[in-house]
Amino acid sequence: MIGYGFMGAAHSQGWRVAPRFFDLPAEPQMQVVVGRHPGAVASAAAKWGWEESATDWREVIARDDIDVVDIVTPGDTHAEIAIAALDAGKHVLCEKPLANTVDEAEAMADAAERAAARGIRSMVGFTYRRVPAATFARDLVAAGRIGEIRQVRAAYLQDWLIDAESPLTWRLQKERAGSGSLGDIGAHAVDLSEYITGLKLASVSGVLDTLVTERPLLGETIGLSGTASAERGAVTVDDVALFTGRYESGALGTFEATRFATGRKNALRVEVSGSLGAVSFDLERMNELQFYDATLPPLEQGFRTIYVTEHDHPYLAPWWPAGHMLGYEHGFSHQVKDLVEAIVDGTQPRPSFADGLHVQRVLDAVERSSNAGSAWTATGD
């Protein structure tokens, strides 16, 4: 695993727990975690259960005992690491969004296609697809339970940047992160809406805005997030992204991604309205799915709550008795399960790098639309 921040902890949990609950066809061995600061990455290795730590990712991917490379670094490093790993014959899991630019994502997708011809697999970490309630929503839609899809509403709301004095982290710098709310959390809203509906966005019209244009710089605390200093630097990414989209089918979608939604901590919501019904998923109530059946008699209609905790629901068979809830971390175990099974079976795991490239094109189209006064802009697929 290359990187060891917040996502490093989550991915480590997935690698550690998945083989203990799922009957995987191969046993993952958590061999080495890589980071720039020797002391900090060694501590992460000891805490999360990795056999060893290292500071040079190039040396690690050249090793014969490494089969899979898991990339959890900032977006500006994804392309270089992933392409090198794929060319070296390693299977790759890469955190979302796939890259910082469409050009980088295209190069990664090309590398993945070359590698696939040699049996090497790659996958993007859009983990919310693997929340059982979200997967079950996809299953209901695919089974035709809500009929023809007519409209989608998707939003990802957080509030961790509402303090204008919080420091200028890498997520607020375009050269590191690529974009702000749009790429960090808007990418999830785009991917999850497409996953649940089975539709792809063809064009968008949007606006981006930066609400706090400068913040205190971070100090030089090695291996940590750092501390705020008296100096200030420019915020070069969006704080808020609002856009509408039209899917290839003609259905319309509305999207919001913001880290300024005061009081909302991690509210990813997707509601799909169809001719025969609707489904509504809310990550803050992640063990539930709202389902509306418009084919019932009018006196019986209304959204009802389905508790997605039964063993027959997606992913849930190995876990707890019905009614015992899962949490955020379980999606990462499901991600490991799906990736390991695909590698052993010789099949393409999803979402693929090609899927990640499509999302990158949607993000790019939103940014281009905003720069052009919210003009409708094709995604370019």
- Domain of residue 174: give its range: 130-371
pTM exceeds 0.85 for this model: yes
**275 in the same domain as 251:** yes
CATH code (residue 271): 3.30.360.10
Q: Are residues 318 and 205 in the same domain?
A: yes
**Looking at the domain assignment, is residue 381 inside a domain?**
no
pLDDT exceeding 70 applies to what percent of the chain? 97
Same domain, yes or no: 84 and 186: no
Check residue 381 and give its pLDDT: 77
Residues 55 and 194 in one domain: no
Do 205 and 326 lie in a common domain? yes
For 227, the token pair is: 């501390």
CATH number at residue 58: 3.40.50.720
Spatial distance between the Cα atoms of 135 and 15, rounded to a whole number of angstroms = 21
- Residue 380 domain-assigned (yes or no): no
pLDDT band at 36 (very low <50, low <70, confident <90, very high): very high
Mean per-residue pLDDT, 157-171: 95
Flag whether 1 is in a domain.
no
Written as one string, the DSSP assignment of 138-185 is HHHHHTTTT-SEEEEEEEEE--TT-STTS---GGG-HHHHSSSHIIII
Q: Are residues 68 and 180 in the same domain?
A: no
| pLDDT band, very low/low/confident/very high, at 353 (cuts 50, 70, 90) | very high
pLDDT at 218: 83
Asked whether residue 320 falls in the same domain as residue 221, the answer is yes
Q: Check whether residue 95 and residue 146 sit in a common domain.
A: no
Burial class (CB within 10 angstroms; exposed 0-12, middle 13-18, buried 19+) of 272:
buried
Into how many domains does the chain fold? 2
**Which pLDDT value is given to residue 226?**
56
pLDDT of residue 221: 41
Give residue-wise pLDDT tens across range 206-251: 999 999 999 999 865 434 455 656 799 999 999 999 999 999 999 9
Better-scored residue on pLDDT, 381 or 263: 263
